[in-house]
Amino acid sequence: MRTVKNLLRYTRRYRLILILSLLCAAVSVGFSLYIPVLVGEAIDYMVGKGAVDFGEIGRVAVIILALIALIAVFQWLMNYCVNVVCARTVRDLRDDVFKKLNTLSLKDIDSNAHGDIISRITNDVEAIGDGLSQVITKLFSGMITIVGTLLFMLAINAYIALIVVVLTPMSVLVAAIIGKMCARSFRGQQQLQGEISSYVEEIVGNQKVVKAFAYEERSAKEFEVYNKKLFKVGLKAQFAGALANPSTRFVNNMVYAVTGIIGALSVLTAFMGQLTIGGLACFLTYANQYTKPFNEVTGVLTQIQTALAAGDRVFDTLHAESEPDESGKRRYDKAEGGLEFRDVCFSYTPDKELIKNFSLKVKSGEQVAIVGPTGCGKTTLINLIMRFYEVDSGEILLDGIPAKDINRDVLRQNFGMVLQDSWLFSGTIMDNLRYGNPAASDEEIIAAAKMSYAHSFIRKMPDGYNTKLSENADNLSAGQKQLLCIARAMVLDPPVLILDEATSSIDTLTEIRVQKAFKKLMKGRTSFIVAHRLSTIKESDIILVMNDGNIVEQGTHKELLSRKGYYYNLYNSQFADS
Amino acid sequence: MLKLRRFLSPYKKQLIIGPLCKLFEAVLELFAPLVMAEIINNGILKQNTDYVLKMGAVLVLLGVVGLSSALVCQYMASYTSQGAGTKIRSALFKHIGTLSHRELDELGAPALITRMTSDINAVQANIAMTMRLLLRAPFLIIGALVMACFIDLKISLIFFAAAVIIGVILYLVMTKSLPFYKKIQAALDRISLLSRENLSGNRVIRAFSKQKQQENNFEKQTEQLAKTSVRVGRLSALLNPATYVVAYSAVVLILYFGGKQVNSGVLLSGDIVALTSYMTQILLAMIVLADLVVLLSRGSASASRINDVFETEPSVKELNHTEVTSAENAPKVEFKNVSFSYGEGDRELENISFKIEKNTVVGIIGTTGSGKSTLLSLINRYYDTRSGEVLVDGVNVREYPFAQLRSNIGEVPQKSVLFSGTIRSNMLWQNPDATDDEIWRALEKAHAAEFVKSPDREVSQGGLNFSGGQRQRLCIARALVGAPKLIMLDDSFSALDFATEKAVRKNILDAEDCTVIIVTQRCSTIMNADKILVLEDGRLEGEGTHKELLENCPAYREICLSQLSSEEAGI
């Protein structure tokens, strides 16, 4: 119900079009219901051989033709309006969900499967659109049809009309019973579909690994097991679902038969009120038309339910809590780059403490290296500096101003970041490099690319800087992607640099060049380097050694070596005899 | 759709019986107005109450028989479509298994997954729909035409004319709107691409404060989609009114000419009732047909996408299916003048020759894009060379059956991928017959036993319940199970700290009767190898031991000195 209310809010913007379409539906359905009366009337003017009143038939025919024209126009108008409302509502919903994503906290985005969110934007919204158009066209015109035919039937013969009214809902009842019967097999099918999908995703998605282990035949066998199960369950579900249509049609045929017999008797014997033959003809047409919406409604009911379920999911996302608006918060152009951590505490989950009372002062222009084994919390620190996650207690200050008092976007613009998994978007290389600084000229970008040693491989690409990158930039190697990310950061020219394992998949030779370029770039900039290779950080002003989320040691390379602690062991282990 | 018909061939019986039952049901349904006409003509006009009741009973009987034959058809349709879907699924899955890396790269995993899931489901639904509904409509139309002929041949001409005109309208609207549907699909693809990008890159987008730009891009796409939908909607909105106009104009004509026939005593008024109701039946059937054609055209797009995959031939084919015996004293791996490129463009590897003797440790080092991983993938024959030969145990890799070649190589890929199941099920990938003891030994060697604790430990999809470093160690263990004679490590220590790396490496090298190839960027990893290959830009720059290379290979010297101090490098 909440979903319906929410959806109504979206359609409300188009309420004029919506009302217009409903009016059109009412007019066209109303008129089209009147046509059988006219046809019956015309037939009544054909009494028998030599007793056909062509004058009257002609008069009726003209009326029919006029009505047809009107009906056609209104029908078209209705269809068109419905289309407009649905297309626009779908667009609005998509835009809003997309915008919403950008306001959600990283915590929410990290903890949801991306495929699931994408399917909300695409499939679920599509289902809502389909459901909406079904509701407006089928459900509404169905209701008008039911009321209209009922009135007409009552006008022709109240008794027989009542019989039709009582009998027809039987088809709905039958549909409901069948629906209940197949609910379980549908659920079973859904579940197996899910299982098969995730198996396929795993195996087909990692087909190269499958080949490495010559696992093809074994996986085909495993797949066969799922597939056979799906056949059994799917057959049951499909057949159960296919029962509804013939069954309701059967009920309708019975209604037709009963109406026909009683109608004929009433013509003959004035049983239950007198009928004419023409009256019987149009009564039968009405009986047929009266039952049709019931059929159609049962038919679209599943679609409407799907749409509602989809609506629940979409509105869950839309109503998720956004990060608070910070448009009123402090903004300034460029920071000096001094950073301070004051008694910072943080954990992802309340039961597992990660960073505890961490304090550190970094002067503008200093180089900080963070080291430690994988999963020790290095990325966490970056998450906090960038305010992707908020600290639990304590504070982080930029140039002496608490980070939480600075507008989030302004804060982040002061950091140039190269992340562990280099992200590029589909577009040309030039577009990607210009991402952080739209004002940069082509020359500036090429200069940055040269500095980060990306220029030579970009030039070798088919269209140079205008080469389009595919999704995930599959046409580049991991190292090349990272070089592009480094070049992108260079174009941005930020006061603070954050390099998260930035050079891990670039070979050392290239890395030396990058390091040289970085040295130039880092002059006058504060930089944080999360790195694996100790060689890259020997010259840092401060080295933070992390383990299990805690900062175990901090100091310069020499200090830490002379302390003979954790860092000393870590450093020496790489040179011991292998 | 037609190209997939081979999957329907096992269901010939069902494909005949099902539609026949549907035909039967449609015929019965057509009889109902006829019976009604008889009731009016013979019962009412002749004042025969008994006849009315008798014919009433016939109506009920028609309903019951119709229901049962419809049920038979529904079952046949469900059985056939589900069965064919199952067969397509199996065949496609197997076919994907035969594709080599080049085709996998070209088609892309996400596309293949869609083919396997939603596309096959769409085709399956199409088959069922065709058997259940699509055939019903033409039956009803043809039946109504035949019935009209029986009542009055001249008036039936109106029917034919109306049916043809409606058919033409349907055809026109369909063909005109089809290109729009393609556009809509393309816009939807673009929307899902943008969403995915926005999610996977959300940190970067936020870091650059680019939310607004992303939103604008997205809104452009949704706006375009909305416009296209409305445009196609304007067209398809014509369908119903147009058919309606034609059908009811025909009814008016029937009234006029029918009236003439009644007047001249050829027809009775009951016949006119039957004729008009046949006309409405045609109208309804046509509308159903139109709806279905839209659905089917979506499905046939799926079918042709599936077919594209079936028609993709693997570029690397298994040429020999029987096991080959290796040469006794041949080197483990040998490259003879090997050149290779992925596409038509620059050579990825240029005239490479080297030998790797049995039971030695060989390191491969070089810059990004120098061809290190490519070189490994030629040993496994993921790609075929452009020229030259790759030999394993003295036999050209082309002469091996895939399974013999690949299952004898323990490979640890760059990306650490595990599969959902248990630790044990993952460890059995290399050698399906391994005992728990063997598995445990491999886990211990890879320093994975300490956190795994039990081989029954669950592994979630992609192994995401383990950290990156743990996954890497598990992948190493997986390759060690079954003691392969050749182990290839492709940058496989990148997520391990130095201490762990050293210990694991020592365990791997300690194995007896085993050749090890290590691709790495860390000098320290391969300093002590028996032989080091230095690659640069697809060429072999140097070959020798650490000491030799330091003296005569400037590229190697530069790499070493960038990572180690002179005394560490041993200069």
Kindly report, residue by residue over A392-403, the tens digit of the pLDDT: 889 999 888 888
- Count the neighbouring beta carbons within 10 Å of the beta carbon of residue A203: 23
What mean pLDDT is predicted for residues B255-263? 88
Q: A198 to chain B, minimum CA–CA distance in Å?
A: 8
Q: A-B interface: how many C-beta pairs under 8 angstroms?
A: 474
Report whether A157 contacts A279 (CB < 8 A).
yes
Number of H helices, E strands in chain B: 22, 12
Residue B80 has pLDDT above 90, yes or no: yes
Report whether A120 contacts A313 (CB < 8 A).
yes
Among chain B residues, CA nearest to A60: B252
Residue A578 has pLDDT above 50, yes or no: no
Report the distance separating Cα A375 and Cα A392, nearest Å: 20
Q: What is the pLDDT of residue B358?
A: 92
Digit-coded pLDDT (tens) for A503-525: 445 666 666 666 666 676 677 78
Contacting residues of A for B468, CB less than 8 Å apart: 374-375
Residue B252 has pLDDT above 60, yes or no: yes
Domain A158-274: give its CATH superfamily: ABC transporter type 1, transmembrane domain (1.20.1560.10)
Contacting residues of A for B81, CB less than 8 Å apart: 238
Cβ of B70 and A533 within 8 Å?
Answer: no
In chain A, residues 9-48 whose CB comes closer than 8 Å to chain B: 32, 35, 39, 42-48
Helices A15-44/A54-103 angle, 10° precision: 160
If one compares A207 and A275, the residue with the highest pLDDT of the two is A207
Distance linking the first and last C-alpha atoms of chain A: 68
Residue A502 has pLDDT above 70, yes or no: no
Report the distance separating Cα A137 and Cα B240, nearest Å: 12
Q: Where does residue B475 fall: left (phi above 0), alpha (psi -120 to 50 degrees), or beta otherwise?
A: alpha
Report whether B214 contacts B194 (CB < 8 A).
yes
What mean pLDDT is predicted for residues B273-281? 83
Q: Architecture of domain A1-156+296-321 in CATH?
A: Up-down Bundle (1.20)
Cβ of A217 and B407 within 8 Å?
Answer: no
Among chain B residues, CA nearest to A71: B241
Q: B353 to chain A, minimum CA–CA distance in Å?
A: 23
Which pLDDT band holds residue A87 (cuts at 50, 70, 90)? very high
Q: What single DSSP character describes residue A278?
A: H
pTM of the model: 0.74
Q: What is the pLDDT of residue B237?
A: 85
Q: What is the pLDDT of residue A6?
A: 87
Digit-coded pLDDT (tens) for B182-217: 788 788 888 888 887 888 777 778 877 778 888 998
Contacting residues of A for B402, CB less than 8 Å apart: 211, 214, 216
Among chain B residues, CA nearest to A419: B204
Contacting residues of A for B568, CB less than 8 Å apart: 575
By the CB < 8 Å criterion, does A218 face chain B? yes
What mean pLDDT is predicted for residues B535-548? 89
Which pLDDT band holds residue A267 (cuts at 50, 70, 90)? confident
- Mutation to test the A interface, candidates B42, B93, B112, B193, most A Cβ within 10 Å: B93
Q: What is the pLDDT of residue A549?
A: 65
Picking from A323, A321, A317, the residue whose alpha carbon sits closest to that of residue A116 is A317
Q: How far is CA B228 from the centre of its chain?
A: 27
CA distance readout (Å), B293 to B174, B177, B296, B477: 8, 12, 5, 54
Q: B464 to chain A, minimum CA–CA distance in Å?
A: 12
If one compares A552 and B543, the residue with the highest pLDDT of the two is B543
Distance linking the first and last C-alpha atoms of chain B: 69
Q: Which of A281, A374, A409 sits opposite B209 (nearest CB)?
A: A409
Residue A576 has pLDDT above 60, yes or no: no
Q: Which of B205, B219, B234 sits opposite A95 (nearest CB)?
A: B219
Pairing state between β A401-402 and A393-398:
antiparallel
Residue in this structure with the two tokens 């906290």, named with its chain if needed: A105
Amino acid sitting at position B395: V
Q: B446 to chain A, minimum CA–CA distance in Å?
A: 15
Report the distance separating Cα B357 and Cα B326, nearest Å: 14
Pairing state between β A427-428 and A393-398:
unpaired
Report whether A428 contacts A488 (CB < 8 A).
no
Digit-coded pLDDT (tens) for A349-373: 776 677 888 888 888 888 888 887 6
Q: What percent of chain B has pLDDT over 70?
A: 97
Task: Pick the range with the lowest mean pLDDT from A6-10, B387-391, B464-468, B489-493.
Answer: B464-468
Cβ of A509 and B272 within 8 Å?
Answer: no
What mean pLDDT is predicted for residues B396-407? 91
Residue B487 has pLDDT above 90, yes or no: yes
Q: Which of A208, A256, A576 sits opposite B32 (nearest CB)?
A: A256
Question: Who's near A325: CB < 8 A, 6+ residues apart?
Answer: none
Amino acid sitting at position B179: P
Residue A305 has pLDDT above 80, yes or no: no
Report whether A304 contacts A134 (CB < 8 A).
yes
Report the distance separating Cα B212 and Cα B202, nearest Å: 12
If one compares A174 and B449, the residue with the highest pLDDT of the two is B449
Contacting residues of B for A509, CB less than 8 Å apart: 367, 555, 558-559, 562
Give the start-to-end residue ranges of the domains of chain A. 1-156+296-321, 158-274, 339-573
Cβ of A268 and B40 within 8 Å?
Answer: no
Amino acid sitting at position A58: G
Q: Which domains does chain B have, with CATH numbers?
A: 2-311 (1.20.1560.10)
Cβ of B269 and A278 within 8 Å?
Answer: yes
Q: Which of A307-311, A534-538, A561-565 has the highest mean pLDDT?
A: A561-565
By the CB < 8 Å criterion, does A79 face chain B? yes
Per the prediction, chain A carries an average pLDDT of 81
CA distance readout (Å), A269 to A155, B48, B422: 19, 10, 80
Which pLDDT band holds residue B571 (cuts at 50, 70, 90)? low
Q: What is the pLDDT of residue B478?
A: 93
Domain A339-573: top CATH class = alpha beta
Burial class (CB in 10 A: 0-12, 13-18, 19+), B397: buried
Per DSSP, the residues of B7-65 read: GGGGGHHHHHHHHHHHHHHHHHHHHHHHHHHHIIIIIITTT-HHHHHHHHHHHHHHHHH
Q: Are both A158-274 and A339-573 of the same fold? A: no
Residue A473 has pLDDT above 70, yes or no: no
- Quote the ipTM score: 0.81
Up-side HSE of residue B564: CA atoms within 13 Å toward CB?
22
Contacting residues of B for A247, CB less than 8 Å apart: 67
Q: What is the pLDDT of residue A245?
A: 78
Helix (H) / strand (E) element for B169: namely helix B153-200
Please tell me chain B's helix, strand, coil percentages from 3-state DSSP, rounded to the nearest 5. Answer: 65, 10, 25
- Mutation to test the A interface, candidates B36, B365, B460, most A Cβ within 10 Å: B36
Report whether B474 contacts B444 (CB < 8 A).
no
Q: What is the pLDDT of residue B355?
A: 94
Contacting residues of B for A245, CB less than 8 Å apart: 74, 132
Q: What is the pLDDT of residue A577?
A: 43
**Helical H runs in B331-482?**
372-379, 402-407, 423-427, 436-445, 449-452, 468-480
Question: Who's near B494: CB < 8 A, 6+ residues apart?
Answer: A504, A505, A532, B472
Pairing state between β A367-371 and A393-398:
unpaired
By the CB < 8 Å criterion, does A63 face chain B? no
What mean pLDDT is predicted for residues B391-404? 92
What mean pLDDT is predicted for residues A404-426? 79
By the CB < 8 Å criterion, does A322 face chain B? no
Up-side HSE of residue B358: CA atoms within 13 Å toward CB?
13
Picking from A18, A120, A42, the residue whose alpha carbon sits closest to that of residue B196 is A120
Give me Rg for the CA atoms of chain B: 36
- Mutation to test the A interface, candidates B45, B72, B208, B418, most A Cβ within 10 Å: B208
Residue B223 phi, psi dihedral angles, 5° rounding: -65, -45
Cβ of A507 and B368 within 8 Å?
Answer: yes
- Mutation to test the B interface, candidates A138, A196, A261, A561, most B Cβ within 10 Å: A261
Which pLDDT band holds residue B378 (cuts at 50, 70, 90)? very high
Report the distance separating Cα B196 and Cα B191, nearest Å: 9
Question: Who's near B3: CB < 8 A, 6+ residues apart?
Answer: B303, B304, B307, B310
Digit-coded pLDDT (tens) for A199-227: 888 888 888 888 888 888 889 999 999 99
